[in-house]
Amino acid sequence: MKALSPYSPAPSFTTLIRRPSFPRLLPFHSVAVQCAYGPETFSVQNGVGLSRADWQSSCAILASNVVSEQQSAGGGGGGVVASVNGHKTNVENLNLVPIGKISDTYQITKPQPKPLTITDFSPAPMHGEKLRVAYQGVPGAYSEAAAGKAYPNCEAIPCDQFEVAFQAVELWIADRAVLPVENSLGGSIHRNYDLLLRHRLHIVGEVQFPVHHCLLALPGVRKEYLNRVISHPQALAQCELTLTKLGLNVTREAVDDTAGAAEYIAANNLLNTAAIASARAAELYGLQVIADGIQDDSSNVTRFVMLARDPIIPRTDRPFKTSIVFAHDKGTSALFKVLSAFAFRNISLTKIESRPHRNCPIRLVDDANVGTAKHFEYMFYVDFEASMAETRAQNALAEVQEFTSFLRVLGSYPMDMTPWSPSGGH
Ligand X SMILES: O=C(O)C(=O)C[C@]1(C(=O)O)C=C[C@@H](O)C=C1
- Catalytic residue positions, numbered: 302, 304
Bridge partners (DSSP) listed for residue 278: none
Neighbours of 40 (CB within 10 A): 13
> Which of 206, 257, 263, 390 is the binder for ligand X (CB under 6 A)?
257
Q: Does 232 bind ligand X (CB under 6 A)?
A: yes
Query: How far is residue 249's CA from residue 351's CA, in Å, rounded to a whole number?
Result: 37
Distance of closest approach, residue 127 Cβ to ligand X, in angstroms: 28
Smallest distance from ligand X to CB 285, Å? 13
Stretch that binds ligand X, among 55-63, 164-172, 231-239, 338-346 (CB under 6 A): 231-239
In the complex, what is the shortest distance from the CB of residue 407 to ligand X, in angstroms, rounded to a whole number? 27
Identify which of residues 214 and 250 has a Cβ nearer to ligand X in the complex: 214
> For ligand X, which residue of 302, 322, 323, 412 counts as binding (CB under 6 A)?
302
Residue 418 · residue 333 · CB < 8 Å: no
| Residue choice 30, 183, 404, 412 for contact with ligand X (CB under 6 A) | 183
Q: Which of 167, 182, 108 is nearest to 134 (CA)?
A: 167
Say whether residue 230 binds ligand X (CB under 6 A): no
Three-class SS string for 34-64?
Answer: EEEECCEEEEEEECCCCCHHHHHHHHHHHCC
SS3 assignment, position 190: helix
The conformation of residue 94, written as its DSSP 8-state character, comes to S
Beta strand extents in 242-341 (DSSP E only):
251-254, 273-277, 288-292, 301-308, 320-328
Number of chain positions touching ligand X (CB under 6 A): 15
Find the shortest distance in angstroms from Cβ 167 to ligand X. 18
Least Å from the CB of residue 141 to ligand X: 3
Q: In the set 157, 204, 211, 379, which binds ligand X (CB under 6 A)? A: 211
Nearest distance from residue 5's CB to ligand X, in Å?
Answer: 37
| 254 contact partners, CB below 8 Å, separation of at least 6 | 230, 231, 232, 233, 236
- The residues pairing with 351 across neighbouring beta strands, listed in sequence order, are 383
Q: How far is the CB of 287 from ligand X (least distance, A)?
A: 15
The SS3 of residue 327 is strand
- 72 Cβ contact partners less than 8 Å away, ≥ 6 residues apart: 27, 28
Q: Which of 62, 133, 165, 189 binds ligand X (CB under 6 A)?
A: 189
CA dihedral 351, 353, 359, 364 (to 10 degrees): 120
322 burial level (CB within 10 Å; 0-12, 13-18, 19+): buried
Q: Of 30 and 234, which has the nearer Cβ to ligand X?
A: 234
C-beta closer to ligand X: residue 43 or 143: 143
* Interface with ligand X, residue 188, by CB under 6 A: no
- Based on the shown chain and the rule CB under 6 A, indicate whether residue 196 belongs to the binding site for ligand X: no
Selection from 392, 385, 415, 390 nearest residue 324 by Cα: 385
Amino acid residing at 363: R
> Which one among 102, 204, 239, 259 touches ligand X, defined by CB under 6 A?
259
Q: Per CB under 6 A, which of residues 133..152 are in contact with ligand X?
A: 137, 141-143
SS3 (DSSP) at 220: coil
CA dist 403 and 388 (Å) reads: 19
CB of 385 to ligand X, least distance (A): 23
In degrees and rounded to multiples of 5, residue 355 shows phi and psi of -135, 155
Residues 306-345 that bind ligand X (CB under 6 A): none
Closest CA to 389 of 404, 369, 409: 409
Is 234 an interacting residue with respect to ligand X (CB under 6 A)?
yes
Which residues would be at the binding site for ligand X (CB under 6 A)? 137, 141-143, 180, 183, 189, 211, 232, 234-235, 257-259, 302
